[in-house]
Amino acid sequence: YGNPDTSSELQAVIAYFGCHDISRDFGDYYAESGVKCIPLRVEGQPSFEQMAFNNESAPNLAPLCCPFNYITKSFPPAIILHGIIDAIVPYQHSVILAEKIKEVCGEDRAELHLYEDRNHEDIDFLSEESSDLCVEFLDRVFGRK
């Protein structure tokens, strides 16, 4: 069963519009960029921000949930794509992730692509252009080109 001769270690990362920094209130990022935030609220339930930042039972939860706090020298090559007008996850999350990877692993380990006209889960992320970009990245990582 499986592929015993193939490593199961993470060898590449493709990150689309991900939430990477919950140590800071999202509103701060939106204020900086001028993008209008779409609040993700379910009536009667605490918001994501309330759970992450005002959790009295686990006040130090936010830093533990930030992926960039776990980047080590062995972090694999990453391509990160994010839309600047993302109204759900601020694009700065991807900028911070790319900067952290480059700081820890070197400039060539992270490739950041920001799109002026794309929102969160924008259909253009499924375009042939975006797909080709990711395939070319994987080809480079795995030495196919």
- One DSSP character per residue, 95-115 reads HHHHHHHHHHH-GGGEEEEEE
Q: Given this model, what pLDDT does residue 64 score? A: 77
Buried b (16+ CB within 10 A) or exposed e, 33-66: eebebeeeeeeeeeeebeebbeeeeeeeebeeeb
Q: What pLDDT sits at residue 55?
A: 54
Please report the pLDDT score of residue 69 as a whole number: 86
pLDDT beneath 50: ranges in the chain: none
Cβ of 32: how many Cβ atoms within 10 Å?
Answer: 10
How high is the pLDDT of residue 97?
A: 94
Per-residue confidence (pLDDT) for residue 33, from 0 to 100: 83
**Residue 137: predicted pLDDT:** 97
**pLDDT at position 42:** 62
Residue 91: its pLDDT value, please?
Answer: 93
Predicted confidence at residue 81, as pLDDT, reads: 97
pLDDT digits (tens, 9 = 90+) for 53-63: 555 666 677 77
